[in-house]
A and B are shown apart, each in its own frame.
Chain A
Amino acid sequence: DAKTTQPNSMESNEEEPVHLPCNHSTISGTDYIHWYRQLPSQGPEYVIHGLTSNVNNRMASLAIAEDRKSSTLILHRATLRDAAVYYCILRALSGNTGKLIFGQGTTLQVKP
């Protein structure tokens, strides 16, 4: 699986938007970009994924660069509950066993 690079930590104020960047310069054409997050003392949870086009769901938005070498997870209004470690993960469409390769992720702190 291709490697991703994320900042170690970020801070945000409550109710403000948060942009979490991820670089994946060696991404291949069939790699999907997935985001998971892990709240304190909990198992990871899926946030969003995309291939080429920007994606929106009830939790977040995913903006993918035109060359696909980077992406940004957008939380539109951060809440205290969004404080977590956010992982950007590349997953091949096929030819893999589906395992998730977690990096160090970005630890997001949300200040009231």
Chain B
Amino acid sequence: NAGVMQNPRHLVRRRGQEARLRCSPMKGHSHVYWYRQLPEEGLKFMVYLQKENIIDESGMPKERFSAEFPKEGPSILRIQQVVRGDSAAYFCASSFGLAGVDEQFFGPGTRLTVL
């Protein structure tokens, strides 16, 4: 059973370009979470999605960021018009359920560098 997969592992963008980060959850998992880790900072929750639904986006910046988890295919975190401050490691996690006991399985992350 493959783990959570993220691609690309490294992404370089120039200011103003768009960044698309992909996450394939573990087989059988329908809950997906995105977290961001800025340089020298801790992990921060961004958004929680189930298939075709955004459940909690309380951690998402108000502008330029969006996320989706379509019925078919991976979850996508999209950052429009990137700025240098978006440079960070973006981690995706998936879980089977959302109860307090369900562990989240994390992917290896996408490291975004904005030039």
CB of A86 to closest CB in B, whole Å: 12
Contact with B along A8-40 (1 / 0, CB 8 A): 000000000000000000000011101000100
B100 touches A100 (CB 8 A): no
Q: Which of B43, B48, B106 has the most CB of A within 10 A?
A: B43
Known contacts A97-B56, A99-B56; A49/B42 CB under 8 A? no
Q: Which of B65-73, B78-86, B91-99 is near enough to bind chain A?
A: B91-99
B45 x A46 contact (CB < 8 A): no
Task: Tally chain A residues at the interface, Cβ within 8 Å.
Answer: 26
Determine the distance from Cα of A31 to Cα of B99 in the docked complex, in whole angstroms: 11
Known: A31-B100, A43-B108, A49-B103. A100 touches B45 (CB 8 A): yes
Task: Provide the residues of chain B in CB contact with A30, threshold 8 Å.
Answer: 100
A112 an interface residue at 8 Å Cβ cutoff? no
Interface on B for A, CB 8 Å cutoff? Answer: 4, 31, 33, 35, 42-45, 48, 55-56, 59, 91, 93, 95, 98-109
Q: 4 other contacts beyond A46-B105, A99-B56, A102-B44, with CB at 8 A cut-off?
A: A49-B103, A96-B100, A98-B31, A104-B42
